[in-house]
Structure 1
Amino acid sequence: MDPRGRSIGGYFAEEIADPLQAEFHIGVASTVDPNLIAHIHGFKSFQMLLHLGEMPFSFVRAFTNPRSLTARAFNNPRELGKVEAVNRSDVRALEIPAVNGVGQVRAIAKLYGDAATGGKMLGLGADTLNALTRAASPPSEGVRDQVLRVDTTYSLGYMKPFPEFRFGSSAGKAFGTMGLGGSFAFADPDTGVGFAYAMNRCGFHLWNDPREVALRDALFATVLGEAPQDPKAHRP
């Protein structure tokens, strides 16, 4: 609990966004011009059945089963189960970090960029950075994500590279978070890069959305000379 009694949005603004001058909000204030916020185009749940080649069948099956943990997680509260609900001003004003962070994509990259270069502005200590960059310890009950219904790897709440989703440099010290519809952002300490991609039209990939991975591959494989980010890429 914050000793000063701030909400999560207030804490984030004062301790993280303001020091980095990052235009990002958890709970959009009425003073923010709504015309500057992109409209999110979502999709209906049944449309996922038309994209089983892109979304894991195990996830789609669980998502469409109202009794599953997956469906209950994504529909809590039920109104937020509709992707386009995030376009409502009252929803934007809520402080739900896992749902409605609103801001510039460059701000997200800036936050991860600070973490990738030592976390001085964020006030990250050596112990925290070491925990984020080292290989994650597998949970005692396995690596199957009970909501996404696929194998994943996390450390301190951030996703780490794993065989089905490799990102960043080849050393595997990167950590980040993917979002609904194809968005993805992460820190790569080996290269000192903070990367972020977001779109306003949701796609049907849990990760490696073709739009996102093309940009990430251009940066890491072509510019920085790291390993290809696209698992389907074949390079000499």
Structure 2
Amino acid sequence: MVEIHGECTGRFEVVREALAAILADDLGASVAVHLDGEPVADIWGGYADEARTVPWERDTITNVWSTTKTMTALCALILADRGDLDLAAPVAKYWPEFAAAGKQDVLVRHLLSHTAGLPGWDEPMTAEDLYDWEKATSRLAAQAPRWEPGTRAGYHAITQGYLVGEVVRRVTGRTLGTFFAEEVAGPLGADFHIGLPAEHDHRVAQIVPPPPNGEERANPPLNPAEANTLPWRRAEIPAANGHGNARSVGEVQSVLACGGTARGVRLLSPEGCERVFEEQFRGTDEVLGAPMRYGMGYGLDTGGFPGPRTCFWGGWGGSLVVNDLDARMTVAFMMNRMAGDTLGDTRAITIVTAAYEALSAG
């Protein structure tokens, strides 16, 4: 049996049992459950490397792929709550060059809900191009939308981070990673990074890609092993290269679950948190090929979670964070061995189910 480290309080021991069952034939992972902003489960186990020579430790972090989008969305919600960013305004109000090629009517909320018509770049891109912020953003500013903004949704897997990130940069004068570090992670003491400083390299768990399935993933074609390279870590890719663990993801996202305040730190008003539930799209996402409901920067519950006022998002290969604003609960699962499905797999759902089981037992 794999040893699970960390603490679970009382009835949340069932979450430890769930992680132990997962890691019996997996690699490494961390799980956190926050209730009323406080940790009731903070556990981890397994290995940080594919060779199983480096244990997953308390401070191990890993690339969490699109779970990063929840951090980027939170930055936008914070700016909106402060009155610095109007989510219903044209993007070009803040980023004038963006009005090119018929995008004058693209709104900030379209960026947050994958409805802007910019799910990828039209010009060929390489992974290296993602490390050039000016190139990535200027190309998006110059191209035409692929559909009338707001009428359809197609997952902006990588582009969303550059789009929202550039708006944040224009509004604040700071890059998304810097704004997040100074205004979110710093005040909360959360070990989450968008653009990873070199001093943290020694504790990064290697991403283990899934078996190849013969499909190219958008433009640029992205090999998941790219996440193990130093250029990827150093860049700011606000839709895909956040580094953290379940504890730090939960520490940040529990602010949203708890009406804007967690552990004595207020980042949002209760009204600012409610904006996440302003539905922007309901239907089939044309990139994912799956039924989705999008609010302001998060996926919204379609009946799969026990709590109706739930928002979530996950990362390529399996990471996931779920915020239940009625239960004031946040559940996070971060791992390093990727599953083959873009939309994740059953591991995180097993953890979320266990957390709700514990909650109902209270």
TM-fit CA distance, 1:110: 1.1
Give the structure 1 partner of residue 328 of structure 2. Answer: 192
Contact between 2:260 and 2:272, CA under 8 Å: does it hold in 1? no
Rounded Cα–Cα distance in structure 2 between residues aligned with 1:157 and 1:91: 23
Query: Please, what TM-score do these two structures have when normalized by structure 2?
Result: 0.49
Rounded Cα–Cα distance in structure 2 between residues aligned with 1:187 and 1:38: 25
Contact between 1:111 and 1:194, CA under 8 Å: does it hold in 2? no
Give the structure 1 partner of residue 284 of structure 2. Answer: 144
Tell whether 2:190 aligns with 1:22.
yes
User: Any stretches of 5+ residues in structure 2 without a counterpart?
Assistant: 1-167
Taking only the aligned residue pairs, the percentage that are identical comes to: 28
Contact between 2:317 and 2:344, CA under 8 Å: does it hold in 1? no
Query: Please, what TM-score do these two structures have when normalized by structure 1?
Result: 0.73
Tell whether 2:267 aligns with 1:123.
yes
Rounded Cα–Cα distance in structure 2 between residues aligned with 1:46 and 1:122: 44
User: Any stretches of 5+ residues in structure 1 without a counterpart?
Assistant: 48-63, 227-236
Letter in 2 for 1:157: G
Contact between 1:15 and 1:122, CA under 8 Å: does it hold in 2? no
For 2:290, what is the secondary structure of its paired residue? Answer: coil
Rounded Cα–Cα distance in structure 1 between residues aligned with 2:329 and 2:194: 24
TM-fit CA distance, 1:16: 0.6
Give the structure 2 partner of residue 105 of structure 1. Answer: 246
Contact between 1:115 and 1:122, CA under 8 Å: does it hold in 2? no
Rounded Cα–Cα distance in structure 1 between residues aligned with 2:174 and 2:344: 36
Identify which of 46, 64, 68 aligns with 2:213. Answer: 46
Q: Counterparts of 1:150-229 in structure 2 under 5 Å?
A: 150-163=290-303, 166-167=304-305, 169-170=306-307, 172-207=308-343, 209-220=345-356, 222-225=357-360
Deviates more, 1:179-188 or 1:115-124: 115-124
Deviates more, 1:116-125 or 1:103-112: 116-125
RCO greater where, 1 or 2, for CA within 8 Å and sep 6 or more? 2
Give the structure 1 partner of residue 146 of structure 2. Answer: none
Contact between 1:112 and 1:195, CA under 8 Å: does it hold in 2? no
Letter in 2 for 1:88: T
Contact between 2:331 and 2:355, CA under 8 Å: does it hold in 1? no
- Sort the Cα spacing of 1:93 and 1:146 in 2 relative to 1 into closer, same or farther, 3 A: same
Deviations 1:48-81 (A, max 9, x none): xxxxxxxxxxxxxxxx3x6xxxx43xx33x3xx1
Deviates more, 1:101-110 or 1:208-217: 208-217
Letter in 2 for 1:36: R
Larger strand share, 1 or 2? 2
Count of residues paired in the alignment: 190
